[in-house]
Amino acid sequence: MSQYELFKRECEQEILDLGHDHSLKDASKDWMNKANAKKYSYHFEWMGRPIIQYPQDIMAMQELIWQVQPDLIIETGIAHGGSLIFFASMLELNAACGGPNDAEVLGVDIDIRPHNREAIEAHPMFRRISMIQGSSIAPEIIAQVQARAADKKRILISLDSNHTHDHVLAELQAYASLTSVGSYCVVFDTVIEDMPAEMFPDRPWGPGDNPKTALRSYLKEHPEFEIDRQINNKLLISVAPDGYLKRMK
C-alpha cells in the first residue's frame, strides 16, 4: 500500500468520526445560521465573477469533477455566472491533464440578465460554455438540454435555480436521469430545510418546502441514486447537506 493510500485510509476514518461528532455538527449549524444572516455566500468570486457558493462546496465540486472527468456539466441557475466559469475552468484543467478536450458546460436560467450574459461571454473560459434562457422545467427547454446531452459519455448535474419543492422535484425528474453511473447530481441549497423559517421572509421556499424535501421525494422512487454521506461528513459546513447524490446504477 502506497503512502497516499495509507493517508486516504486515515482520512476515511477521520471523516467518519466527524460525521459522528454531534457537538461539532451543532456548532457548524449555529455558525451557518449566523453567517447566512450576513449573506456570507455572496462575497466570493471565481476568476472575476460572483459565484455565490460556500468555499467548502466549491472544493467538493472540484474533487468530484476531477474524479468523474465529465465531458458535460449541466447547471440550472446561472445568476452572475461564477459557477459556470468555475466549471469551465475545471474542465480546462482536466483537459490540460489528459481529460476530455471537448468537455463543456451548459447553463440554464429563466432570466439571463444582459450585463451577466455580456460578462460571461467576454470571459476567457466562455469557449467551453453555452447558455439556454428559459424555465428549466419547461418541456421545450428540457428537450434542448436532453439533445445536448445525447452524445456525451460522462455527465454531472448541478441544480441551483428556484428552490421550491415542486420546482426542484421537476428538475430532478427532468435531468437526474442524465447523470452518468458513478457521477453526481448535486442539489444545492438543501440547507434551507435546516434553517429558521424567518431566514426566508420574502421567498416562496422555506422549511418544509425546499430542495431537501424534493430530493427526499425523488429518492423514494429512484434507488439508483444514493446520498454520498462521506461528503456530508467531511464538509460539515455546506449549503447542500444530503444534496450530493451519486448514481450507483
Q: What is the mean predicted confidence (pLDDT) over 68-76?
A: 98
Q: Could you read off the pLDDT of 101-130 as tens digits, one per residue?
A: 999 999 999 999 999 999 999 999 999 999
* pTM for the structure as a whole: 0.97
Q: Could you read off the pLDDT of 33-60 as tens digits, one per residue?
A: 999 999 999 999 999 999 999 999 999 9
Write down the pLDDT at residue 1.
Answer: 87
- Is residue 76 within 8 A of residue 109, CB to CB? The reply is yes
Distance from the Cα of residue 63 to its chain's centroid: 12
Write down the pLDDT at residue 23.
Answer: 97
Strand 244-247, strand 184-187: pairing: antiparallel
Q: What is the mean predicted confidence (pLDDT) over 123-152?
A: 98
Q: What is the mean predicted confidence (pLDDT) over 227-242?
A: 97
Percent share of the chain, pLDDT over 90:
98
Q: Could you read off the pLDDT of 4-21 as tens digits, one per residue?
A: 999 999 999 999 999 999
Q: b/e for 108-144, b at 16 or more Cβ within 10 A?
A: bbbebeeebeebbeebebbebbebbebbbbeeebbee
Domains of the chain: 3-247 (3.40.50.150)
- Is residue 239 within 8 A of residue 41, CB to CB? The reply is yes
Task: Report the alpha-carbon distance of residue 131 to residue 111 in Å, rounded.
Answer: 11
Average pLDDT, the chain: 97
